[in-house]
Amino acid sequence: MPNRSSDELFQLIKTLEKAEKRNFKLFVRRNAASEDLKIIQLFDVLDKLDRYDEDYILTRTKDIRKQQLSNLKAHLYRQILASLRILKDEGNIDITLHEQMDHARILYNKGLYVQSLKVLARIKETARSYDQLTFLLQALIFEKKIESLHITRSFENRAEQLSQEVEEIDQRLVMVGRLSNLALQLYGWYIRMGHARDEKDEQAVKDFFSAHLPQEAQRSEGFYERLYLYQSYAWHGFILQDLLLYYRYCQKWTDLFDKMPFMKKVESQQYIKGMHNLLNAHFLLRNQDKFHEALHQFENFHRSKEANSSGNNRVQTFVYLYIAKINRHFMDGTFTQGLKLVPHIEEKLQEYEVQLDRHRVLVFYYKIACLYFGSGDKEKAIDYLNRIINWKMDLRADLQCYARLLHLIAHYELGNFDILDHLIRSVYRFMSKMKNLSVVEKEIFIFLQRTFHLDRKQVREAFQLLRDKLKKYESNPLESRSFMYLDIISWLDSKILGIPVQEVIRERYLLEQK
């Protein structure tokens, strides 16, 4: 999937909705000058383009010279942002508080100190209601400034009270900062490396977590302190493949929003991410009933006002909802049925290309490849795996490794033995370089090398032998990563029983439902 042009103006225009485009033109034409008319021409041309092409732009806008283009683009960018700013979003607490803070400053500059203090009082009340600590601190600091420079006669002992409030908020902000740093750094580790690969990784993550987790964090009661504390524990458990810890704190993460439902409007993205991780935890633990219950809850949210309040929310809800829907087909063993999702996913990947990060696209490609592999279409699986392998990037070393391993197994299934020896050496070197070779992967490589020349009876016996070996490692945390990315046991069962992978998984699912 090629990257859309990185031109920032072009990207901004491609994210605009119809109402926003209409509002922009009305905004610009209110006091239209000749330069403003030119930026409308430029806007119209860019809006119709699928890819940014400067030569084409200049041919379509005869009034714009090449020397003017850079300045006009900068002006157009600022005007679009200004037009978006005046569109009211009553649900956005940040924008509401910013606007009220602007009003307080305007009143202060007019010398209307008491009126300014009244606005600040409303800001503080709203900020406290939604736990917006930074706005609360700004309001308190501004209030201190007014009280220290002017005689407002607001009430006695104001100085002591303001000082105490500022100190309390400072302490809370320090805690939020430390916990959010810890959560972000752990998440960053996972994005770069994936799960802990060996005991050295495991110990490094444990040491980092214990060194950076504030001792008093468990006593914090604020929304954001709890949110980042739960996230830190969730990422810690996920990296270490302690799935019960991961599940427990993902549940706490989403429960926090259920206890304070108004925060779903303020922190929609955090709720969406929490639901994604809760669904993922249920999927990995094979909590089928709870998975379907959480998926139903997430689908309801997908249709809610909060989920559709911004383009960002719509994109993220789409990503996590459809990852969960694919995972449902993995759990239920309905791979062929799951392929019906692919055209819609491909369409949305194209539509949301500007907003989607590469990591999410990689995940979709890998999961789609697994759907095709599980349904028996190995050629199509290879097509999607090639997209990952040929897309050079430094994200998710684990995903890069398992894409190559599944690619190798798909060629083995297709009987492409003329390239298999080369592929085995190539994938082995890559995984070794990435320090992603566990006992399970080594056993798979040995098996593939030794069996592609054997007859059918000998191969079936080899499959059974490999299955018996690998079953011993399923409960080993440092080996379980392999089973999370590749359902290798189900593949081996399918080869031993001579039935498709999805039938093996489907029969297991139906048995578990009894």
C-alpha 236/C-alpha 219 separation (Å) is: 19
pLDDT at 90: 59
pLDDT at 1: 43
Assign 458 to helix, strand or coil. helix
As given in the structure block, the two tokens for residue 255 are 């429960």
Residues 6+ apart with CB under 8 A from 429: none
pLDDT at 439: 86
C-alpha 316/C-alpha 308 separation (Å) is: 10
pLDDT at 454: 72
Say if CB 232 and CB 179 are below 8 A apart. Answer: yes
- In tens, the pLDDT along 316-357 reads 999 999 999 999 999 999 999 999 999 999 999 998 988 888
pLDDT at 93: 87
pLDDT at 31: 64
Q: Write out residues in the chain with pLDDT < 70, as ranges.
A: 1-5, 31-36, 88-91, 151-156, 393-395, 514
Measured CA to CA in angstroms, residue 288 lies from 82, 241, 243, 368 at distances of 48, 19, 15, 21
- In tens, the pLDDT along 137-182 reads 999 999 988 888 876 555 567 778 888 899 999 999 999 999 999 9
pLDDT at 391: 83
As given in the structure block, the two tokens for residue 24 are 């922009």
pTM (2 d.p.): 0.84
pLDDT at 152: 59
Phi, psi of 310 (to 5 degrees): -155, 160
- In tens, the pLDDT along 384-429 reads 999 999 887 666 777 888 899 999 999 998 989 889 889 999 998 9
> Mean pLDDT over all residues of the chain?
88
pLDDT at 291: 96
